[in-house]
Amino acid sequence: MIEVRNLTKTYNIEGQVITAVDNVTLDVSEGEFVSIVGHSGSGKTTLLSLLGGLTRPDSGTVVMDGVNLWDIDDNRLSEFRNKKINFIFQFASLIPTLTVKENVCLPSVFGQYNAGVDEYAVRLLEMVGLSDKINSYPSQLSGGQQRRVAIARAFINTPKVILADEPTGDLDEETEKEIISIFNRMNADDKVTFIIVTHNTELAGQAKRQLRMSNGVLKEV
């Protein structure tokens, strides 16, 4: 499903070269549930961005579903992201001027799948326990509620891969458990591949495969 070969990404900050991702090689098969832990600044977010085609690596390749992400042009890469991948970001990632439902439906605006999206969005919002906030705006929601909206949005395009960066960051324990069970269900039923960055030991621990990142280097645990 995902084949990563010798992936390296460096940043040049005021003459200082930082190797955020250092020669990472990784194979993830379809329907796997992978967790990545690591210290702050170890390069986890950068790795997820590389996997999702949000930033170009200095060297190495990412092949997903048989497609080398950096071999295709930007339009096709965008389409690929739109159809196959979805993200849950570390930070608040809702568009403030759109309602909760509009936010959840946003990926569909960029693709060509409009039929049934509204109903699906409502179902996803019910799943994350926000059916009463469908027409609210993000500013009217708590941080945890916003995060749950972002989680609902991650499933709207029925992606094959979900790249999640601290998805349970600001959720209480109970909601966290619900989210984990949603992830598990999606993983089991729909064979969605999960790659989740987390500090949460419970979430990390129940992943079948656990990786650790330190100073840009990825290791199996």
Partner 1 sequence: MKNLRRRFVRTVLLVLGVVVVSGTLFSATIVMQSIQNSLRIGTYRLGADVLVVPEKYEASARNALLAGEPTSFYMKKDALDKVRAVDGVKNVSAQVFIQPASFSCCYSANVFIVGFDPRTDFTIKPWLEESIKTIPEGNEIVTGREIPVKVGDYIPFYGTEFKVVGTLEGTGMKFFDNTVFMPLETAYRMAEQSRKKARQVLNISSDDISAVLVQVKSDITPDRVAIRIEHDIPGVKAIVSDQVISTVRQQMFVLLRSIFLIVGVAWIMALLMIAVVFSMIVNERQREIGLMRAMGAKKSGIFRLIMSEAILLSGLGGILGVTVGGILVYSFKNLLIASLKMPYLWPSSFKIAVLVLGCIVLSIITGAIAALYPAYSVSKMEPYDAIRKGE
- Binding site residues, partner 1, CB under 8 A: 46, 49, 52, 54-56, 74-75, 78-79, 81-83, 86-87, 89, 91, 93, 95-98, 106-107, 110-111, 153, 157
Nearer to ligand ATP, 36 or 141 (CB): 36
The tokens 């799943």 sit on which residue? 127
Q: Which of 35, 45, 145, 193 binds Mg ion (CB under 5 A)?
A: 45
The tokens 């909760």 sit on which residue? 100
Nearer to Mg ion, 45 or 82 (CB): 45
Cβ contact 145:133 at 8 Å: yes
Q: Which of 35, 45, 103, 145 binds ligand ATP (CB under 6 A)?
A: 45
Q: Which of 3, 5, 8, 18 binds ligand ATP (CB under 6 A)?
A: 18
Q: Are strands 33-38 and 209-214 parallel, antiparallel or unpaired?
A: parallel
Question: Interface with ligand ATP includes 44 (CB under 6 A)?
Answer: yes
Nearer to partner 1, 83 or 199 (CB): 83
Nearer to ligand ATP, 40 or 112 (CB): 40
Measure CA 54 to chain center.
11
Residue number closest to Mg ion, CB atom: 45
Residue 83 has, within 13 A of its CA and on its CB side, a CA count of 11
Beta bridge partners of 196: 35, 164
Q: Which tokens in the block code for residue 27?
A: 């194979």
Q: Which of 45, 56, 2, 14 is nearest to 193 (CA)?
A: 2
Residues near ligand ATP (CB under 6 A): 11, 13, 18, 20, 38, 40-46, 90
